[in-house]
Amino acid sequence: MGTVAGVMTSFSKRVGIAGAVAVAAAVGASAMSQQPDPLAPRPQAPLAKKPLPPAPLFLNNRVTELGQGFDGRVGIAVKSIDEGWSTGWKAGELYPQQSVSKLWVAITAMDAVDRRKVTLDDPVTLTRDDLTLFHQPIAAEVLKTGSFTTTLGDLMVREMTQSDNTANDKLMRTVGGAGAVRAMIRAKGLGAIRFDNGERALQSRIAGLTWNPAFSVANAFFQARDALPPSVRKAAFDRYVADPYDGASPTAVVDALARLKRGELLSPASTQHLLDIMSRTVTGANRLKGGLAPGWVLNHKTGTGQVLGSAQAGYNDIGILTAPDGRSYAVAVMIKLTSVPLPVRMELMNNVVRAVIAQHDMQYAPSAAPSP
């Protein structure tokens, strides 16, 4: 037995040694296989995101000067759609959008068209129950017979070019309601842009009221608002100014406009369709549009809020300026609260546009730039 045991022990040792050698060889081979091949291409480090160029000094200084010189709470933002730089004055705060928010309804509708959920030719019937308040030219069509049938595309033209509140709210409900608009804003990463529950709900809330369908008839809304105790109405108005339910930052607005222009939000056909509608806006003829130079084009949307005493909460114009050479700029001028006369507000907006044009001419058409 001792001899057998000795033989087995000797055999085990030999097997163990051989196994160890084999393992060592395998480990060595594995280690060799993991060594980088000197002839193989080296992995490239991820490219650092190219920093955006700074805004031109002239325009930056001019926007600051205009913002500082205005008697009211204003936010201004300008963004070069081609080069990416931006500048502004208090552009990160939230300002009441008012009818500027109709743009997000239109984008939601065109996004639904792109996803083949609806078409612009879909028929839509409005009745008295769809009427809203303030500016609603389409109401005259509804009141002729009690109903009016048109298309989804026509509603979009009316809400964007005429700022028709009834067309806006009906379009919003047709494509999924306020929740669908908020979902679009989130899904596309538009940033600091709020959306309330349509014009009826928003305007009632600002006034200190709860929407009642009777408000859509004649002057019923104004009568109900005027019947409120002054303290109630002022408290509601001040709450809105302090934390606007439809608030947006000018920075987020110009970023969204730039993405729209670049075709990053909608299909090429839908992008062009919406921009064409925005070029036919008839409201705000002397806001941003009043500062245009010959050959320049503006695609824009205005917004105008309620007045309490001498103060107005929300007086806006946002849009895309395109130069004769094709370069474009997103611009937003949003007045949160002011009591200055309308011509003064319009002059501010005119001057922002003139500053953008002057900067463009200095940079790309020096012979057309104004003399210092």
For residue range 258-271, what is the model confidence (pLDDT) as tens digits?
999 999 999 999 99
43 contacts 36 by C-beta, under 8 angstroms: no
Lowest-pLDDT choice from 40-54, 216-230, 330-344: 40-54
**pTM of the entire predicted model:** 0.85
Structural domains in the chain? Answer: 54-95+249-365 (3.40.710.10)
Could you write out the DSSP letters of every residue in 77-106? EEEETTT--EEEESTTS-EE-GGGGHHHHH
Average per-residue pLDDT for the chain: 90
Region 233-240: mean pLDDT is: 98
pLDDT at 367 over 80: no
Q: For residues 335 and 314, what is the distance between their CA atoms, to the nearest angstrom?
A: 5
Strand pairing category for 311-312 and 307-308: antiparallel
142 contacts 128 by C-beta, under 8 angstroms: yes
Q: What is the pLDDT of residue 159?
A: 98
The angle that helices 178-187 and 165-174 make with each other, rounded to 10 degrees, is 70
Q: What is the pLDDT of residue 48?
A: 61
